[in-house]
């Protein structure tokens, strides 16, 4: 940080301030000026954002009908929204405009405080009217009994109605995961309890309705699995990465957030699910490559300022905490500390439990597909781990994690990282995603 000091000039030094009270006020004000100038944050010397970028964004905001909003640089050299906005959608529009000029990395994920009509205020009354219907009737702190019923939603989106580039193996990922679940000798999920949606069937409406059905059917002792393989959106104003559906729209640009499976949809599902066993697997990430051919989606040149073509965004701990909504989140960086012989029982002899969110990659990373494996690299090894560990989720994850990291470096380059992430609400989350062999 640059520190600026103001030295009294010779003229000031020679000034005659006869009255003691006047002298006190003068020097007090001078000291205040010095303190304020020392605490003004200096612009980061490392930022590629300059005054022309700021001017361009502010001009685009005016053209977009955002007359009271503007942007400034924050202390990290990133663009930050300032001013007042009519509603959340106008904030999204401003946030999107800033991203199209300087890219994802250099827009601060902080929302302006001066929003005239907040979205939560619009929905406030609805929350009370729905509370008696959707509020779980069980206490989350009590462990459930043995698994009774199993429900699942499996989604794979490789083709998109908009001009988002296709994914080669997303449908294959979903198909192999679905086959594991419904195989009587492996997952043992009843086919009638598993919703399988791919490509044109994997619309935002169909996915949302499938989540609602599971939410209504699953009881406290049931197990629920949700698997989605697709593109992710660029991070929105809170830093969330949403799941792109077949009918996600990209024009105007901010609609990518309004027409995807959003954090609010997933959070509503998680909060109001009565089942105490939930495994949610998101094999999706945003990367520059996914949107580089969409006109106007990225800054000129097709990538964020100062970023590579491999810039990506996966699961962050903050995002996981927001989704699971738990105060005592377990950020599990280690595998099971006791041998479980491939099973899925916790140390007290009961089935594992809790809400678990698994991401194929970490924040700032991509989730890679493999032409050699004909799958995404994470899904391939996670399923391999489930097969080798009798469906035990925790064992399978920590089997897959080092193999994913190693395979990505082997296939994509030694400088490329992909580290699968997990966030859980309980330490004993080694749930039986497969049928236990007697």
> How many CB atoms sit inside 10 A of residue 89's CB?
14
Beta bridge partners of 354: 277
pLDDT(113) > 90: no
Looking at the predicted structure, is the pLDDT value of residue 72 above 90? yes
pLDDT at residue 169 is higher than 90: yes
| Distance between CA atoms of residues 420 and 394, nearest Å | 12
CA distance 127 to 144: 27
Contact 114, 83 (CB under 8 A): yes
Question: What pLDDT does 324 receive?
Answer: 56
pLDDT surpasses 80 at 424:
yes
- Please say whether the beta carbons of 101 and 53 come within 8 A: yes
Look at residue 336 in the predicted model and tell me its pLDDT. 55
pLDDT for position 434: 82
Better-scored residue on pLDDT, 97 or 303: 97
Rounded Cα distance, 254 and 239, in Å: 14
Q: What is the pLDDT of residue 66?
A: 95
Cα dihedral 137, 140, 142, 143 sign = positive
Residue 298: is its pLDDT beyond 50?
A: yes
The per-residue pLDDT for 256 is 93
Listed in sequence order, the residues at least 6 apart from 272 whose beta carbon sits closer than 8 Å to its beta carbon are 134, 135, 136, 215
Q: What is the mean pLDDT of residues 183-208?
A: 97
At 138 the pLDDT is 45
* 354-359/277-283 β-pairing: parallel
- Judged by average pLDDT, the poorest of 23-37, 109-123, 243-257, 367-381 is 23-37
More confident of the two residues 13 and 75: 75
Which pLDDT tens digit goes with each residue over 79-98? 999 999 999 899 999 999 99
pLDDT band at 425 (very low <50, low <70, confident <90, very high): confident
DSSP assignment, residue 392?
B
Q: Which two tokens stand for residue 76?
A: 């990290």
pTM for the whole thing? 0.79
CB 228, CB 265: distance < 8 Å: no
Length reported for the chain: 438
Can you tell me the distance from the alpha carbon of 6 to that of 394, in angstroms, rounded to the nearest whole number? Answer: 60
What are φ and ψ of residue 236, in 5° steps? -90, -170
Say if residue 215's pLDDT is above 80.
yes
Centroid of chain to Cα 275: 23
Domains of the chain: 51-118 (3.30.1340.30), 147-424 (3.40.50.1460)
Higher pLDDT, 147 or 23: 147
Q: DSSP labels for 256-314? A: HHHTSB-HHHHHHHHHH---SEEEEEEE--EEHHHHTTSTTTS-TTSS-TT--TT-EE-
Enumerate the β-bridge partners of residue 151. Answer: 224
Mean pLDDT for all residues in the chain: 79
């Amino acid at each position: 940080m640059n520190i600026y000091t103001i030295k009294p000039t010779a003229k000031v030094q020679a000034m005659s301030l006869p009255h003691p009270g006047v002298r006190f006020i003068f020097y007090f004000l001078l000291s205040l000026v010095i303190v304020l100038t020392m605490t003004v944050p200096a612009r980061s010397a490392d930022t590629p954002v300059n005054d022309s970028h700021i001017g361009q964004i502010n001009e685009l905001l005016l053209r977009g009908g955002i007359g009271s909003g503007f942007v400034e640089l924050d202390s990290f050299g990133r663009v930050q929204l300032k001013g007042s906005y009519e509603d959340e959608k106008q904030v999204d529009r401003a946030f999107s405009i800033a991203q199209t000029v300087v890219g994802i990395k250099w827009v601060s994920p902080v929302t302006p405080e001066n929003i005239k009509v907040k979205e939560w205020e619009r929905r406030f009354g609805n929350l009370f009217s729905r509370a008696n219907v959707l509020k779980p009737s069980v206490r989350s702190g009590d462990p459930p009994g043995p698994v009774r019923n199993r429900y699942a939603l499996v989604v794979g989106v490789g083709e998109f109605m908009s001009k988002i580039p296709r994914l080669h193996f997303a449908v294959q990922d979903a198909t192999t995961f679905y086959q594991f679940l419904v195989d009587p000798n492996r997952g043992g999920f009843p086919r009638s309890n598993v919703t399988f949606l791919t490509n044109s069937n994997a619309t935002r409406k169909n996915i949302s309705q499938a989540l609602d059905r599971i939410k209504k059917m699953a009881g406290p002792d049931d197990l629920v699995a949700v698997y989605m393989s697709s593109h992710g959106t660029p991070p929105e104003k809170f830093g969330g990465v949403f799941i792109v559906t077949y009918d996600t729209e990209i024009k105007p640009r901010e609609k990518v957030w309004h027409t995807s499976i959003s954090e609010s949809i997933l959070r509503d599902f998680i909060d109001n699910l009565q089942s105490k066993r939930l495994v949610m697997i998101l094999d999706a990430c945003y990367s520059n490559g996914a949107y580089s051919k969409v006109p106007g989606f990225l800054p000129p040149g097709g990538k964020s300022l100062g970023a590579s073509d491999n810039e990506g965004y996966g699961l962050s701990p903050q995002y996981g905490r927001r989704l699971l909504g738990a105060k005592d989140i377990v950020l599990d960086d280690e595998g099971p500390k006791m041998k479980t012989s491939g099973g899925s029982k916790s140390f007290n002899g009961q089935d594992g439990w809790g809400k678990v969110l698994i991401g194929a990659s970490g924040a700032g990373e991509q989730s890679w597909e493999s032409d050699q494996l004909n799958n995404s690299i994470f899904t391939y090894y996670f399923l391999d781990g489930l097969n080798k560990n009798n469906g035990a989720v925790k064992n399978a994850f920590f089997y897959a994690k080092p193999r994913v990291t190693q395979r990505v470096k082997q296939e994509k380059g030694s400088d490329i990282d992909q580290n699968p992430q997990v966030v859980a609400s309980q330490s004993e989350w080694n749930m039986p995603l497969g049928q236990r062999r007697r």
